[in-house]
Amino acid sequence: MNEAAGMVNEVEVKKAGKSKFMQSVLRKMGKEEKGFTLIELLAVLVIIAIIAVIAIPLIGNIINKSRDNGDLSTASQVYNAARMYVIDTKNGDFQKAATVTLKEMVDGKYIEKDIVLPSSKAALVEGTQVTFDKTGALTEVILNDGEKYTFTAKEVLSATKTPAKTP
């Protein structure tokens, strides 16, 4: 019986030793994995920087394009107001009204006085005009907010392309 009791104690001691050893290993592993290493943090920063380098110009282009489209939409709005002005006040005789100014459209209440150009956030001023040919076809729309922007008939009617500033 003594031999059996000795064997049981020896097995229990070995089990207890393995258990304590495993607990200490698990504790060490847990302590080592509580934070991030400097290399891991730098890798994340590099990835974020790469994404920013790619995304920022794309976002900038989207913003610029939306401003340009807003200007084109404003040119279209001014064109439609001028067309309505000629039809109502000149009985559709475009020969009598080859050029319609912003003042004429505002005075006739075909367009609001404080219309703003989206790209510059400035109100349109004198010098904004719409030009028609003798047949009533649109020639150009000039928007002036202190700087002149010229839109051709093709640009206004097709709603494509944004003009460059004209001196």
pLDDT in tens, 70-95: 888 889 999 999 999 988 888 878 77
φ, ψ dihedrals at 81, nearest 5°: -65, -40
SS3 call for 108: coil
Quick one: which H or E segment has residue 150? Answer: strand 148-152
pTM: 0.63
User: Does the pLDDT value for residue 38 go beyond 50?
Assistant: yes
Query: In this model, does residue 10 exceed pLDDT 70?
Result: no
Please give the mean pLDDT across all residues of the chain.
81
* Domain ranges across the chain: 39-166
Q: How far apart, in whole angstroms, are the C-alpha atoms of residue 89 and residue 61?
A: 42
Strands of the sheet containing 148-152, edge to edge, are 99-101, 129-132, 138-144, 148-152, 165-166
Give yes or no for residue 12 having a pLDDT over 70. no
